[in-house]
Structure 1
Amino acid sequence: MADTWTAREAIAAVVDGAGFAELADAPGPERSTGVDGPIGWPGYGQSLARAGERTGERESVVCGTGSIGGTEAVVVSFEFGFLGGSLGARTGERLEAAYTAARERRLPLVSLIATGGSRMQEGMRALAQLQRVARQSALLRASGAPQVAVLRDPTTGGGWATLGAGADVILALPGAQVGFAGSRVRPPGADPAAYTAEGQLASGQIDAVVRREDLRDALARWLRHLGAPPWEGPPEPPGPLRAHPKGEPPARTGWEAVARARSARRPRADAYLAAYFDRVQEISGDRCGGTDPGMRCGFGLRQGRAVAYAAQCGTATLPAGFRTAARLVRLADRLGIPVLTLVDTPGAANDAEAERAGAGAAIAELFGAMATARVPLTTLLIGEGGSGGALALAAPGNLWAAPDSYFSVIAPEAAAAILKRTPEQVPETADLLRLRPHDLVDLGIARGVVG
């Protein structure tokens, strides 16, 4: 069932008070292509007239500016009652004007989407609007302004593939139909759950499912985090949260350092993030079909300033985790927000499923994002640093180590196996790898041990 919100009801649900100011249409003839549109679709003019009478709108999208939780934004809202919220040439004109206003005024763009796709009665002229919207989205992205999409019911076709999936942060209403293929054109027997907001969340395509009554607050929080002044310079590394007494001496052997890092008592990423930030907003998913609960990514406020973060949670990192972290780093770089990463993984997942999911390419993507980021990066090694799966998340030249941590070219057990050593020789191998925190400082890998 289609979303019961009209375009203006959706706007009223998220914009503060009555402060919405609609953007004026570009001057010109009402319908320059004739009463039945650019391809002469029989009765199209009458359909437009009926849609206008039924909805009170002149097109399928309403665009304007308003404040959401105190943050000024350009707001785009679709009217599904107007020909199924379809995109035609006039829709493209209005959307282009909205993106242009956001870019010129340096405002975030919030889109409240409910659409069935491109308008068939305008033929290829309608489909070409997707390129128009994609170009405007890219221009706004290059300007450094964030884009947040809200997927209403339904969000399908080109509207999903441009305004929706092209946004930086994607929220959806519960039960919303979301997918490139609408309900009438899917393959027979297709799993309907895959075309829902919940299904898209599980497959890493959206960031959160938000109830209607919580939507205004959710948008306000996201706009506050993405629009806060960035932390100046590299983020300071978090102070140590110790599993052992503060006065305890450093690990005497490599194997002792490994044991400390693997201790169940040792603090994990959740504890560090809670101690470091006043509040956080998290993204979810790699936009390629996967999620990794062992990689937390998002934006936090610290002393009123924004810092992005990507944190491993002590598990083997999945390809989706590396891609999500790369997505976070690229978004933070575009918004000018510095990045803090917390390294804690025994290594990259190395089972057959991880290989099929492109583990190597995902790790390479994160290495590339970290290497080319223009914003300051800081990394704290808080536990295990297992080989390239850990190094991919490490800031080049700005790595710090917590006392209960180690970093190694490979896990001691794997090193012993490769070198044909016995299991009894694993502790000795750990010593030879020089993986203790102060070893990392001596080797020039870490800048220091925190605390």
Structure 2
Amino acid sequence: MSERRSAREILDLLTDPGSLTEIPYPAGESRRDGPLGWQGYDAARARAAERTGEGESVVCGTAAVGGARAVLIAFEFGFLGGSLGERTGDRLVAAYTTAREHRLPLVSLIATGGSRMQEGMVALTQLQRVARQSALTREAGVAQIAVLRDPTTGGGWATLGAGADVVLALPGAQVGFAGSRVRPPDADPAAYTAEAQVAAGSADAVVAPGALKETLASWLRLLSPGTSAPTRAPAHGRGVVPASVPRALGGTGLPATGWDAVRRARSPRRPRAEAYLDAYFTSRVALAGDRCGGTDPGGMLCGFGEREGRTVAYAAQTGTATRPAGYRTAARLIRFADRLGVPVLTLVDTPGAANDAEAERQGAGAAIAEVFAAVAAARVPVTTLVVGEGGSGGALALAAPGNTWITPDGYFSVIAPELAAAILKRPPEEVAETAGQLRIRPQDLVELGVVRGVVDHADRPPPPVTSPTPPG
């Protein structure tokens, strides 16, 4: 179990000294013992207020975190278990409204046991209010970040927590829809932890308390609308400057044959995604998980980074067969960046989509379709660089139509040469010839109009990027 802090203590830990300004709360109608007339409810609230010094289970305000301003919602678990009631809902609505009006990211520091029983269904319907406010905030292009404290259960997890764009968690925090007193008696407690939620793709990272302020500040700087004006445009991404094309980090010169291109792309010495991301960004933060039970940490890297003072989102394949969860995470990243008006960089490098039986059970086709759709629907520019293998539709899904580039170490093919030869019933010794017939070399792809150009080695400047003309 993680260390429990009060609302004021967590705000003091994260916010810059003297920067917190509380949001005015609506008074609301006063009814004796609440909407249900629950005997003793007024007395319980009075005791909670005396014990915590708070008038409700949340404290909401604007503040700076490492110099980046945000709207913060801090739950006070000591006030009736951080439960959500009607007056809690009023405060949450005020916080979301303030975030939209001032275009400030919204950070929820959650510690709640769920909805308040003494208010019955009136309390539960506050979740609908929160969901509506979250949807309006999402449509406004304002980022939402959740920090899961101990505990984060019930409707608070299912709305403010799991519904956020970025989900961070404190180590050992109890996280799950079912609280400890309502789970099946044989339930495994380890399944209801922050660590388990990250492993299941429902949260992005577990962050130690000592690193939380710095981590949160990094996210806020990258996701705040005012931090990178040249990158962003208010009209749903129109006019956003595309991400620049990364420099090539590997070999120089073009491959002589198709099979040479394949061997270069498959070489273990060729630079992979991590090397490209490290060289491209001065700093970056990672998104992880597809939000429906899966992760693909070895096959897809997603997140946001700073490039020459601008925020750029990235989705990068790592050279392995990409799992369905990897594609869904990339689609999530692209849709999120599109809402914020942030350009996207994709790095293509995969022999193809994972095609084992488990991948099919996990919905490989639907996951790849999600990425195709996210790229096609993006209103912000997407820039693609093929840094290694471009294996069939599993690679093409991440490629931007009209704005895809390639390094001398890359190739793009409708199918792997070995599989093409097998389908054509050719012997293994004809695989190399088949590779040539497929015309998969970088120079072939330029001639065919599949890519815009070949990015040369690192001692030459990358080509200038202009907004591409979509293919007819």
TM-score, normalised to structure 1's length?
Answer: 0.97
Q: 1:27 to 1:185 in 2, by over 3 A?
A: closer
Question: How many residues of Structure 1 are paired with residues of Structure 2 in the alignment?
Answer: 444
The residue aligned with 1:225 is 222
CA distance in 2, matches of 1:73, 1:366: 31
CA distance in 1, matches of 2:175, 2:190: 10
For the Cα contact (< 8 Å) 1:380–1:399, is it kept in 2? yes
The residue aligned with 1:157 is 154
**Which secondary structure does the structure 1 equivalent of 2:370 belong to?**
helix
CA distance in 2, matches of 1:221, 1:323: 24
Q: CA deviation at 1:172?
A: 0.5
**Which secondary structure does the structure 2 equivalent of 1:342 belong to?**
strand
The residue aligned with 1:319 is 324
The residue aligned with 2:387 is 382
Amino acid at match of 2:417: P
Q: 1:252 to 1:69 in 2, by over 3 A?
A: same
Q: CA deviation at 1:42?
A: 2.2
Q: CA deviation at 1:18?
A: 2.0
Q: Does 1:437 align with 2:442?
A: yes
The residue aligned with 2:248 is 240
Q: CA deviation at 1:3?
A: 4.9
When the two chains are superposed, the root-mean-square deviation of aligned CA atoms in Å is 1.1
The residue aligned with 1:6 is 6
For the Cα contact (< 8 Å) 1:3–1:154, is it kept in 2? no
Q: Does 1:264 align with 2:264?
A: no
The residue aligned with 1:425 is 430
* Structure 1 unmatched ranges of 5 or more: none
Amino acid at match of 2:244: E
Q: Does 1:283 align with 2:287?
A: yes
For the Cα contact (< 8 Å) 1:73–1:108, is it kept in 2? yes
Amino acid at match of 1:65: T
Cα deviation per residue 1:106-134 (whole Å; 9 max; x = unaligned)? 11111100000001110100000000000
* Structure 2 unmatched ranges of 5 or more: 232-239, 457-472
The residue aligned with 2:198 is 201
Q: CA deviation at 1:188?
A: 2.6
Q: CA deviation at 1:27?
A: 3.6
CA distance in 2, matches of 1:262, 1:4: 49
CA distance in 2, matches of 1:188, 1:319: 33
Amino acid at match of 2:432: P
Q: CA deviation at 1:2?
A: 7.5
CA distance in 2, matches of 1:42, 1:166: 34
Amino acid at match of 2:217: A
Which residues in structure 2 correspond to 1:16-165 (within 5 Å)? 16-29=16-29, 31=30, 34-165=31-162
The residue aligned with 1:180 is 177
Amino acid at match of 2:91: R
CA distance in 1, matches of 2:108, 2:3: 15
CA distance in 2, matches of 1:62, 1:98: 10
Q: CA deviation at 1:237?
A: 1.1
For the Cα contact (< 8 Å) 2:4–2:149, is it kept in 1? no
From 335, 343, 346, the counterpart of 1:341: 346
Cα deviation per residue 1:338-373 (whole Å; 9 max; x = unaligned)? 001000000000001101111001000010000000
Amino acid at match of 2:427: T
The residue aligned with 2:462 is none
> What stretches of structure 1 move > 2 A for 4+ residues in a row?
1-4
The residue aligned with 1:367 is 372
**Which secondary structure does the structure 2 equivalent of 1:449 belong to?**
coil
Q: 1:93 to 1:3 in 2, by over 3 A?
A: farther
CA distance in 2, matches of 1:417, 1:191: 48
The residue aligned with 1:328 is 333
Q: Indicate the larger mover: 261-270 or 223-232.
A: 223-232
CA distance in 2, matches of 1:201, 1:73: 24
For the Cα contact (< 8 Å) 1:171–1:207, is it kept in 2? yes
For the Cα contact (< 8 Å) 1:108–1:147, is it kept in 2? yes
**Which secondary structure does the structure 1 equivalent of 2:180 belong to?**
coil
For the Cα contact (< 8 Å) 2:60–2:91, is it kept in 1? yes
Amino acid at match of 1:41: W
Amino acid at match of 1:370: V
